[in-house]
Amino acid sequence: MNALLLIDIQNDFVPGGRLAVPDGDAIIPLVNALQPQFDLVVASQDWHPAGHHSFASSHADRSACDQIELHGLPQTLWPDHCLQETPGASLHPDLETHRVEAIFRKGTAPEIDSYSAFHDNGHRKATGLADYLRGRGITEVYLAGLAGDYCVYFSALDSLAEGFATTLITDATRPISADGFRAALADLQSKGARLLESPALLAPQEA
């Protein structure tokens, strides 16, 4: 059994959003086309309270993209984004959601960021995603979404650590940094993840 995990395809992460991933909305038609190929489709959603400690605005004399230590963990400071109950936190309106069986929200604890859909950055609390997937009989996880060098990457790392056969669909994700994405993909491959482009999944089956 396999699952497609859609990472953070939200309004604030596409062009015009507060933390836009370049060309982020371009993946949406492809992600929609991929969904019927999987036994299960689930999504993650960044869901920050106001004043989250990962926001640059929460720190005096700090700017977005500054690097700090936050409660013992390295932290990039971000613009305010994906605030709970705001339009920016909503899943993109063009994303088809009728096949999405569950949505796992992350980044809800103000004192710690959560890139991965499975755990916060300190692995102090789980979202429940891994247990949900195991309960549904899932053994293979395929990932797509935003951003490839952050939330998709860390979700893939945790998927591997949780024991799932893990595949990142490279053309169904977009990164903030092309160089960062190349490094992320190399690291994932070195740890046993597979990289795949969508035609391998969408190609018509031979009779």
Task: Evaluate the CA torsion angle 33, 204, 175, 124 in order and state its sign.
Answer: positive
Of 12, 46, 82, 106, the active-site residue reads 106
Cα-based distances in Å from 24 to 30, 36, 127, 147: 12, 21, 25, 8
CB 76 within 8 A of CB 65: yes
Report residue 174 as tokens. 């977009």
Q: Is position 8 annotated as part of the catalytic site?
A: yes
Tens-of-pLDDT digits for all 207 residues of the chain?
A: 999 999 999 999 999 999 999 999 999 999 999 999 999 999 999 999 998 998 888 888 888 888 988 888 898 888 889 999 999 999 999 999 999 999 999 999 999 999 999 999 999 999 999 999 999 999 999 999 999 999 999 999 999 999 999 999 999 999 999 999 999 999 999 999 999 999 999 976 543
How far is it, in rounded angstroms, from Cα 47 to Cα 11? 12
In residues, how long is the chain? 207
pTM, whole model, 2 decimals?
0.93
Q: Is 39 a catalytic residue?
A: no
**Six-digit token string for 16:** 């015009």
The question of whether 191 is a catalytic residue gets the answer: no
Sequence-ordered list of residues with C-beta below 8 angstroms from that of 87, at least 6 positions apart, any chain: 11
For 37-40, the CB contacts below 8 A with 24+ separation are 37/4, 37/201, 37/202, 38/2, 38/3, 38/4, 38/142, 39/1, 39/2, 39/3, 39/138, 40/1, 40/2, 40/3, 40/4, 40/101, 40/133, 40/136, 40/138
Which residue in the list 80, 113, 149, 151 is annotated as catalytic?
A: 151
